[in-house]
Amino acid sequence: MDSPEFLSLLTQYDNNSFINHRADVVNQSDFAAILYSSGTSGSKKGVQLTHRNLIVVINATTGAEQYYNEQLVSLATRALAGVFGFTVMMRAVSHKETLVLLQTFELETILEAVDKYKANYMPVSPSEIVALLKSDSTNKYDLSSLMFLG
């Protein structure tokens, strides 16, 4: 990302390159991404996601921004290679949120990150919610910025 070629994409715009650009039609049923399963229940396989799949997931996680006037901060604690992580990233991009990435789900690290970055949204599993509720560590950090768990 530090290469001159990448930086030029951010700083230079050539209007002439778009003059003869063909406007392709993209339907909601068209494939948007192919993600590969980990193979935990058999062999690894490509999973085709349509634009409709992504639209539904992103819209299903919409809501907090209407109650919050500041920049939303999401905290990602899951592997980003799978569909869960991919949709977390797509949601953050589509809502223009700040996305804080953590390498692991260690409770103390997560609580510290919520406090430090003032995270508003955190996608978690039911077992992670139980761990949060049962932990005495939650009292050591300011978690008042956390608005919802998904």
- Contact by Cβ (8 Å): 94, 120: no
**Closest C-alpha among 58, 73, 87, 77 to residue 143:** 73
**Candidate from 15-19, 27-31, 116-120 with smallest mean pLDDT:** 15-19
Phi and psi at residue 122, to the nearest 5°:
-145, 115
CATH class of residue range 61-149: alpha beta
- pLDDT at residue 139 in the model: 92
Residue 51: left if φ>0, alpha if ψ -120 to 50, beta else—which one?
Answer: alpha
- pLDDT at residue 112 in the model: 95
Q: What is the mean pLDDT of the chain?
A: 80
Share of the chain above pLDDT 90, in %: 21
- Contact by Cβ (8 Å): 86, 76: no
Residue 16 has pLDDT above 70, yes or no: no
Question: What is the per-residue pLDDT across 30-85, written as a single tens digit (0 to 9) for each?
Answer: 998 888 877 778 888 888 889 998 888 877 766 656 666 677 898 887 666 677 77
Q: What is the pTM of this model?
A: 0.67
